[in-house]
Amino acid sequence: MTALVWTLAALVLLGAYVTWTAGRLDRLHARVDAAWAALDAQLVRRAAAARALVPYVLRDPAAAARLDEAAHVAVDAGEQDRETVENDLSRALRAAVPLLSPGAPLDELRSAASRVALARSFHNAAVKDTRTVRWRRIPRLLRLAGHRAMPTYFEIDDTTLAG
């Protein structure tokens, strides 16, 4: 009888742990989704701010065209190729910012770049936490994450004007 009680207690504790872990994973994935949405909004804001600077690139029309194209592509980019597109925008900004005419409105771009860096750090922290839990033995063994894809880090060179 004692063995049955201990076995039943162990099963209840295991069930509670599995339920708690599954709920935690669900919350972590929701946090990653929310962080991605915030990062996406900031990336679009950065692209819009970059596009607003195109008329101020007076000395090099080719650099202005590259900046305009990179900003246009970045606004419409999907999640799959986003890192490449955003790195292209960073390169275009790095080339165009020294060519801006005096009085170009850089404040919005600086603000957007700072917000991108902050949103990216929040997103990557959420991804790190989710991946840590997902790589534990019980969540992998019981497939507690279901069919959700493993979240990935978002790495770009966003230091063009941050700060």
Tens-digit pLDDT profile for residues 44-95:
999 999 999 999 998 889 999 999 999 999 998 888 889 999 999 999 999 9
Contact between residue 128 and residue 155 where contact means Cβ atoms under 8 Å apart: no
d(C-alpha 109, C-alpha 46), whole Å: 6
d(CA 63, CA 40): 25
Q: 18-142 is classed in which CATH architecture?
A: Up-down Bundle (1.20)
Can you give the pLDDT at residue 161?
Answer: 63
User: CA angle 42-47-52, nearest 5°?
Assistant: 125
Query: Taking a C-beta distance cutoff of 8 angstroms, is the pair 161, 106 a contact?
Result: yes
- Per the listing, tokens 């949405």 go with 37
Give the model's pLDDT for residue 103.
84
Model confidence at 160, pLDDT cuts 50, 70, 90, reads low
Give the per-residue pLDDT at 163: 45
